[in-house]
Structure 1
Amino acid sequence: MRDIFDAIQKSAKRIKEAIDVKDIGYSQQENSSGETQLELDIKCDMIIAEELSHVASVNTISSEEKEHAEVLHEKGEYFISYDPLDGSSLIDVNLSVGSIFGIYKGDFGSQNMIASCYVVYGPRVEMVFAENKVKLYLLQAGEFEFVKEIRLGEKGKLMAPGGTQQNWPTYHKEMIDGFFKEGYRLRYSGGMVPDLHQILLKGGGLFSYPATSDKPEGKLRRLFEVFPFAFIYEKAGGVATDGKERVLNLGYAHLHDTSPCFFGSKYEAQRVKEVYAKNA
């Protein structure tokens, strides 16, 4: 596992350099969802694939930017899914973006997840790695230094509601409005990594991306985004649900399957479960 952790760190340093200097214009290529890719998306994808290719224990990698998985070392035992640059459309307005990694043993799938990690590229570059515990690292003088362990409180103060509101189910909107009436504050940038990072470091709250009329199966991808963050939130003492069941009990049929998802501390997650149980 140490060699994978080292490869992710090397990738993060190179991606930070690419963000600082790379042309952010659109390419002529599309990703698996039919979205036109930024040149930076392609560059970051190549960086991560290259660094992981040097790790003999990595069997197969899959990227949000590619339709199919790629076998690296047939004798390797680890399978790694990653979103090379989550929120890349925010680069041109200089908001924080990130990379997400899911680490699986034996094959992809939530039941095989043994660790996960994400990196935030903002005013500072920070990395959160979860295996048995959730640990925060800060990039200083070219190296990632351990800062602290992260634990969520029982109840938070922040709301990060994703999806276009006009496409939300009525009961979902009523639930979110109810949280705001309790005094919760809106903290939503449009980037999954910085929003979930903020909730983690501020002690709790709720990030939500429900099923909507235009995205009835949710928008966020299970292997690349939903499962890795579910693993992190649970290890930090929080909850990850699709509104009905535990996220890490979900399977997948295709590499790019999506799911509704809610990540938060226990108080907010319990409210989600109650509201969605009544409207199932």
Structure 2
Amino acid sequence: MSSSCWIIHHLSLLPNNHRVPSNYLSKNIGVSSYTCSKTRLATVVASQQDASSTNGAGLFLPAHDSPTTLTRFLLENIRSSKAPQDIVDLISSIQFACKKIASLVSRAGVTNLTGLYNEGKSLNIQGEEQKKLDVLSNQVLKNALKYSGKMGVIASEEEDVPVTVDESFSGTYVAVFDPLDGSSNLDAAVATGTIFGIFKQAVSCLVEDDADNIEPSQLRCLANTLQPGSRLLAAGYCMYSSSTMMVLSLGHGTHGFTLDHEVGEFVLTHPNMKIPKRGQIYSLNEANYHHWDPVLKEYVENLKSGKNRSGKSYSLRYIGSLVADVHRTLLYGGIFGYPGDKKNPNGKLRLLYECAPMSYLIEQAGGKATNGKQRILDIVPNTTHERQPLILGSEEDVDELMQLYAAKLQSKV
């Protein structure tokens, strides 16, 4: 098929209001639509449909199939798993917030949303300077969850204490989230993301939606909502990069959805994601190498030299944005870590907002997650902003590190 006929064929697929006049085609392309054989066009279209049906990709989506949207996926899986219907409303609220945040992030450079909030004078509970989009993303997500009518408590990395939802909008669920993970990389246009987890509320807490006036007894009530990651009903993240992706688990596998900007819907593109049993990538900040414990140093040296059990040298890939690093690890395997060290014995990642949801997703995909001593999902948070070391990734890679720690411990006995 000639290139001219190829152009005419694909222009003919455009909607009526985008069609190109036929005289323009004849004048500028040098061939009329009648010149192109219908037989040739039929052959090309048939071959494209065959490609779509055989490899799931192809040049076009198969005409007989419609994509599985996130909402459709939720409804179908809730019917089959008997999960609570409320989860549909909650995830729908989160996906709306993620679409809004994705739009804000993509236009941050031209709408003056890069840089520090309040000229760097605003700090979060961890003493970190807040970016403009940290504050804005937090508010977007809080509002979306609050008006879902299903939330009892909302806990954010950017808030000093969990926030209760007033009685007129309250429900029985707890949402924990990092509204814009990796925001320190935002000004350099590096991938960022939103991390979230959903729990069932352990104790009903209806107190004033005013953190400054919460009584000690009410704080104890809120503390009762602190739960280990093993009790998560759902967890996921949205990644804002070359595409906007939501990776989600409802406790029955990990699934990836890509935002189709043409129709404004998240579409299932990565069903039932499985992390490889072993990878060939390690992802740790080697600038902290000299502060690591001897076991971790030995493990990383073995990966680099190929003296590990696989016998293959690993490549270093470290972005410094948790969502992006975990997403790559989920797809390609290997190991990611933000371990404790001499400077930060408990690491820097928050258990409730980052470690637990990410570990949940990795385990649902067949991987493992640990703090170096125990499974992340078994740890009960003592405070909402508790930090924990985090090592996660392919099952065999994580097991090899844990066995080195066990051997070191045994040698001391």
Superposition TM-score, scaled by structure 1 size: 0.96
Instruction: Find the partner of 2:283 among 147, 160, 163.
Output: 160
* Residues in 2 aligned to 1:102 and 1:162: alpha-carbon distance in whole angstroms: 26
Question: Which residue number in structure 1 is paired with residue 127 of structure 2?
Answer: 34
AA of the residue aligned to 2:273: I
AA of the residue aligned to 1:138: T
Provide, for residues 56-90 of structure 1, a one-character-per-residue CA deviation record: whole Å limited to 9, x for no partner: 11111111111100011555221011001111011
AA of the residue aligned to 1:192: L
Instruction: Find the partner of 2:296 among 168, 172, 186.
Output: 172
AA of the residue aligned to 2:330: L
Highest relative contact order (Cα 8 Å, sep 6+), 1 or 2? 1
Q: Secondary structure at the match of 1:32?
A: coil
Question: Which residue number in structure 1 is paired with residue 91 of structure 2?
Answer: 5
Question: Which residue number in structure 1 is paired with residue 227 of structure 2?
Answer: 109
AA of the residue aligned to 2:154: I
- 1:162–1:207 Cα contact (<8 Å) kept: no
Q: Secondary structure at the match of 2:283?
A: strand
Q: Which has the larger radius of gyration?
A: 2
* Residues in 1 aligned to 2:162 and 2:348: alpha-carbon distance in whole angstroms: 20
- 1:77–1:105 Cα contact (<8 Å) kept: yes
* Residues in 2 aligned to 1:219 and 1:277: alpha-carbon distance in whole angstroms: 24
Q: Secondary structure at the match of 1:37?
A: coil
Instruction: Find the partner of 2:351 among 219, 222, 243.
Output: 222
Q: Secondary structure at the match of 1:104?
A: strand
Question: Which residue number in structure 1 is paired with residue 165 of structure 2?
Answer: 72
Using the TM superposition, give the Cα deviation of residue 230 of structure 1 relative to its aligned residue in structure 2, in angstroms: 0.9
Question: Which residue number in structure 2 is paired with residue 50 of structure 1?
Answer: 143
Superposition TM-score, scaled by structure 2 size: 0.66
Structure 1 segments, 4+ long, off by >3 Å, are none
- 2:226–2:382 Cα contact (<8 Å) kept: no
Matching of residues 258-269 of structure 1 within 5 Å: 258-269=387-398
* Residues in 1 aligned to 2:305 and 2:360: alpha-carbon distance in whole angstroms: 30
* Residues in 2 aligned to 1:67 and 1:98: alpha-carbon distance in whole angstroms: 21
* Residues in 1 aligned to 2:360 and 2:94: alpha-carbon distance in whole angstroms: 17
* Residues in 1 aligned to 2:200 and 2:304: alpha-carbon distance in whole angstroms: 40
Question: Which residue number in structure 1 is paired with residue 265 of structure 2?
Answer: 143
Instruction: Find the partner of 2:336 among 195, 198, 207.
Output: 207
* Residues in 2 aligned to 1:20 and 1:130: alpha-carbon distance in whole angstroms: 26
Using the TM superposition, give the Cα deviation of residue 35 of structure 1 relative to its aligned residue in structure 2, in angstroms: 0.7
- 1:150–1:236 Cα contact (<8 Å) kept: yes
* Residues in 2 aligned to 1:2 and 1:16: alpha-carbon distance in whole angstroms: 21
What percent identity do the matched residue pairs reach?
31
User: Which runs of 5 or more structure 1 residues have no equivalent in the other structure?
Assistant: none
User: Which runs of 5 or more structure 2 residues have no equivalent in the other structure?
Assistant: 1-86, 202-224, 307-312
AA of the residue aligned to 1:233: I
Structure (1/2) with the larger helix percentage: 2
Matching of residues 85-104 of structure 1 within 5 Å: 85-104=180-199
Q: Secondary structure at the match of 1:36?
A: coil
Question: Which residue number in structure 1 is paired with residue 106 of structure 2?
Answer: 20
* Residues in 1 aligned to 2:335 and 2:297: alpha-carbon distance in whole angstroms: 14
Question: Which residue number in structure 2 is paired with residue 196 of structure 1?
Answer: 326
Question: Which residue number in structure 1 is paired with residue 249 of structure 2?
Answer: 130
* Residues in 2 aligned to 1:221 and 1:275: alpha-carbon distance in whole angstroms: 25
Question: CA RMSD for the aligned pairs?
Answer: 1.3
- 1:210–1:262 Cα contact (<8 Å) kept: yes
